[in-house]
Structure 1
Amino acid sequence: MKVLKMAARKKSANSIDAHIGRRIRNQRLWQGMTQGDLGDAIGVTFQQVQKYEKGSNRVGASRLDQIAKALSVEPWFFFDEIDAQKGPEPHSENEILDFLASIDGISLNRSFVLIKNSDIRQKVVDLVELLAEKEHPGLICANLRARRPESVCDS
């Protein structure tokens, strides 16, 4: 009788795993937790949390439930913005989500929402767009004019 060797199949993370990992990281940072804090709450090491957040290790259903409880969200939260047919959002939107989940992104957003005066908020947006235009000439203003004809690019 012949013994068939089955090739060990490595389960690799896919774009949905990466999306869920980004959502875990975003919510963890929003809650002000470290990877160690989350790991302690769910019974794993901070290194394992890193792997979940990078999408290099898949998160099982029961573990995702534990993570959701530790981060005070429902498990479906991690699947938001995933189209069942297409998968997660395109790469450029991933970059935006990655920034929003970073320390700078969270700090910027937390501070920005505290500004209640709409004129001041608009001036902050104008300033950031002008600074971005200096680093990417033509790109920012072209997109901005399409959205707001009275943009700061024309001043």
Structure 2
Amino acid sequence: METTDLGSGKRQTTDVDQVIGARLRSLRLQAGWSQQELAVKLNVSFQQVQKYERAMNRLSAATLSKAATIFDVPMEFFFDDVAAGAPSQGEAVDQTVDNRLEARLLTRYRRASPKLRASLLGLLQAAIPLQDDIEEN
């Protein structure tokens, strides 16, 4: 999707804006923050965060830089693989569902005691062996 002038001087957002918004949302969910909490950190309204995440408004370079700093990711994080194209609508929905589930899991994991964390990791390693697990042993 190219940027187009709508006659009123307003420009539509593009596929790139959708990718950036989805990545912002993903980072927020992984951090376990509400839109209001992120809005305070970015010094914008929670409605503005909603608009960024839904690609209804574009993030300025300054706001994007601030978000990268807040989440401790490089600016490139928001643009990785963008040249390959934005995800389709279905892929974006699947990704959002995955992000929500991952965020819920991560939030609970972080609240668990160290002993419970070790037990959960052991259970997952036994149920889903990965090559890295085999090489560590």
Same fold, TM-score > 0.5, yes or no: yes
Pairwise CA distance, 1:100: 2.2
Name the CA distance, whole Å, in 2 between partners of 1:69 and 1:108. Answer: 24
Retained in 2: the 8 A contact 1:38–1:70?
A: no
How big is the shift at 1:108? 4.1
Compute the TM-score of the two structures, normalised by the length of structure 2: 0.69
Q: Which amino acid aligns with 2:39?
A: G
Q: Does 1:61 align with 2:68?
A: no
| 1: CA distance, partners of 2:106 / 2:91 | 17
Deviations, residues 47-74 of structure 1 (Å, cap 9, x unaligned): 1011101111011111100111112211
How far apart in 2 are the matches of 1:89 and 1:81? 10
**1:120 matched residue in structure 2:** 127
The CA deviation string for residues 129-148 of structure 1, in whole angstroms up to 9 with x for no partner, is xxxxxxxxxxxxxxxxxxxx
- TM-score, normalised via structure 1 length: 0.62
CA positional deviation for 1:37: 1.4
Gaps of 5+ in 2: 1-6, 110-119, 130-137
Confirm or deny: 8 A CA contact 1:81 1:89 kept in the other structure: no
Output the CA distance in 2 between the equivalents of 1:109 and 1:44. 26
**1:99 matched residue in structure 2:** 97
Alignment check: 8 A CA contact 1:42 1:63 kept: yes
The answer on 1:89 being equivalent to 2:87 is: yes
Alpha-carbon distance, 1:45 to partner: 0.7
1:9 maps to what in 2? 9
Structure 1 segments unaligned to the other structure (5+ residues): 1-6, 123-155
Q: Which amino acid aligns with 2:92?
A: N
Q: Hey, what's the Cα distance between the residues in 2 that align with 1:92 and 1:115?
A: 31
Name the Cα RMSD after superposition: 2.5
Question: How many residues matched?
Answer: 113
Shift of 1:27: 0.4
Q: Distance in 2 between matches of 1:101 and 1:46?
A: 20
Identity of aligned residues (%): 32
Decide which structure has greater helix share: 2
Tell whether the 8 Å contact from 1:65 to 1:75 is kept in structure 2 after alignment: yes
- Partners of 2:68 and 2:81 lie apart in 1 by 17
